[in-house]
Structure 1
Amino acid sequence: MTTRTSTPDKILEASRRLFNSKGYAATSLSEIAAAIGISQGNLTYHFPAKSDLAARIDAEARQRLRERRTTRQPGRVADDYVAHLLFAMDLTWSNRFLQRDRMHFIDKVPSPDVDLKADFEELYGLMERMSGEGMFRADAVADLQTLTRSIWVMSRYWMDYLRDFEGLTEISWADQERGIEHHFALLLPCLTAPAQQELRVALVRIRKRSEQGQTG
């Protein structure tokens, strides 16, 4: 994620951090201002209400989704599948208060949510690619939509599990990898043996890229 340097950016980053850790309702504007060493008046000059902060963070998260959809270049379907899931986990965890505390700051949640629906359709498209490449066992999948929906829900709520059941405040690659194992528990029994191996190799390949990026 790009380092924030301007005052509005610093305000947003501090807000995200506090909303995630303490909760939206329990975080005050004065606390956010103190976190970056400015007055509350300076904060409200940029963001008059706390709900404005949440709305901007929500808009940024949605923009990340849209940018990825428009700029990603398809590769191996196994790589694309793993990358899609890891992106979803990272975005959800980085902005976890948006899901957890949404009803506190949004009067009416749009239904259906076009961005989340597009994310689901992207995952479904990956499943269709797998099917087209003969990766599914012929007798294993009765309904591709149902399988996709189960996997998407797993992706969406994995970070909540880490927070609520394990008390994590930071995640590591190992935590993400455990999430992928839960996806695999749903998906792999439906795949041929070669396809299962292909996904396993993709996970290792993307893990190495991530490690290289962290040390580069």
Structure 2
Amino acid sequence: MVKKAPRRTAERILEVSLDLFNKFGEPNVSTTLISGALGISPGNLYYHYPAKDELVNALFDRYEAELRPLLLDAITVNDLEGSWQLLQRLFEMNWSHRFLFRDLNDLLSKNRHLETHFQQIQIDLTGALTSLLQRLRAGNVLHMDASQVSTTASNLMVLLCYWFSYVYVQAPRLAASTEQGKLDSARGTHQALSLLAPWLEADDRLLLQELSLGEHCGPLQATTS
């Protein structure tokens, strides 16, 4: 049996940091906690990432690198089912990097790299969503006025950025569950596409309902356990 090559320390640091940031929030995770979880010395951690901001920036850059190809794929989507798949992938990607959105205001206030790059991501993603809505409108899937496209794209953007903060309030003790994350991503997709319902034909509204049922989207339920 061929032994797998050990993962590089820098990559292991990123993976563990992402997991801890997602579970506890970036402000609540120290470099000491990260090095302890990895079983390495703080000095070894600092060798790869001299400051916590550099860890955050590396994770953000990895998120951005994963997002860019998805935005390119978005230009091929021209129907409701493709829109569902695109948005679900976006929600799932945001869930896997949810610390960025959970602590967004705090991160932007102290990190110039995130401030500038996150603005550009929002611009590019809103542009992709606007283009998607325009194609759905041109294909007679959406029967909305041209003036409504920009507002609806902005509403979709807001949902993508803040959906997981909303569902965290509903069930904070389930927030770290991968299964819950998949379900919340599907619910976010349903919530986003529901914004389009007033401009859909009856058949497409039915298709939206079928897609939701296929992903087992149910109502959000708060938990007190």
| 1:175 to partner: Cα distance | 2.1
Letter in 1 for 2:189: I
Is 1:155 the equivalent of 2:160?
yes
Aligned partner of 1:169 in structure 2 is 176
Unpaired runs of 5+ residues, structure 2, are 1-5, 217-225
Task: Check if 1:121 corresponds to 2:123.
Answer: no
CA distance in 2, matches of 1:46, 1:188: 49
- Structure 2 distance, partners of 1:72, 1:155, is 15
Q: Report % sequence identity.
A: 25
Please report how far the alpha carbon of residue 73 of structure 1 lies from its aligned counterpart in structure 2 after TM superposition: 7.5
Question: CA shift at 1:119, angstroms?
Answer: 1.1
Q: CA deviation at 1:6?
A: 1.7
TM-score, normalised via structure 2 length? 0.78
1:186 has 2:195 as partner: yes
CA distances 1:48-92 after superposition (whole Å, capped 9, x unpaired): 111110010011111111122345682552233112211221222
1:212 corresponds to = none
The amino acid across from 1:180 in the alignment is: T
**Cα deviation code 1:155-204 (max 9, x no counterpart):** 22111112133212223433222222322332112211123234445567
Q: Which structure 1 segments of 5+ residues have no match?
A: 209-216
* Residue type of the alignment partner of 1:123: L
Q: What SS class does the counterpart of residue 160 from structure 1 fall into?
A: helix
Normalization by structure 1: what TM-score? 0.81
**Deviation for aligned residue 1:17:** 1.2
Q: State which of 27, 32, 35 in structure 1 corresponds to 2:34.
A: 32
Q: How does 1:34-113 map to 2 (within 5 A)?
A: 34-70=36-72, 74-75=76-77, 77-99=79-101, 100=103, 101-103=106-108, 105-107=110-112, 109-110=115-116, 113=119
Letter in 2 for 1:58: F
**Rounded Cα–Cα distance in structure 1 between residues aligned with 2:181 and 2:117:** 33
Aligned residues: 203
